[in-house]
Amino acid sequence: MNDCLFCKIISGEIPSKKIYEDDLTYAFADIAPQAPVHILVIPKKHVTGWSAVMGESDELLAHLMRTAAIVAKQEGLEETGYRIVSNCGPDARQTVPHFHLHILGGKELSEKMA
């Protein structure tokens, strides 16, 4: 867990462009943006991914969703819209094993989901 990239971002060991933070969640700009706006929302607690959410509290899971909506509004995406993506495991090409929601927006996105 101490080797986790996103845990190091939360602790400040690895720098990031902070977008939003509260007691349970942290949001920051993706280092390799795939849209004009590309933000990652993560729990401060190390949760590996979707396969681990069964063990997490409803409070934390709901909080992550609410943070994504707050961040999207804060970044001016509410009117134009946005997409939330969360990859789980190898077929989805999850590369960082710390739960994260991608917020993508700022342009009309591809009509394809996969």
The residues annotated with a catalytic role in the active site are: 100
* Minimum gap (Å) between residue 76 Cβ and ligand 5GP: 20
* d(C-alpha 73, C-alpha 70), whole Å: 5
* d(C-alpha 44, C-alpha 24), whole Å: 6
* Minimum gap (Å) between residue 16 Cβ and ligand 5GP: 5
In the bound state with ligand 5GP, the residue whose beta carbon lies nearer, of 34 and 58, is 34
- Residue selected from 1, 32, 113, 114 as contacting ligand 5GP according to rule CB under 6 A: 32
Using CB under 6 A as the criterion, what x/- string covers residues 71-90 for binding ligand 5GP?
Answer: ----------------x---
Bridge partners of 38, per DSSP, are: 104
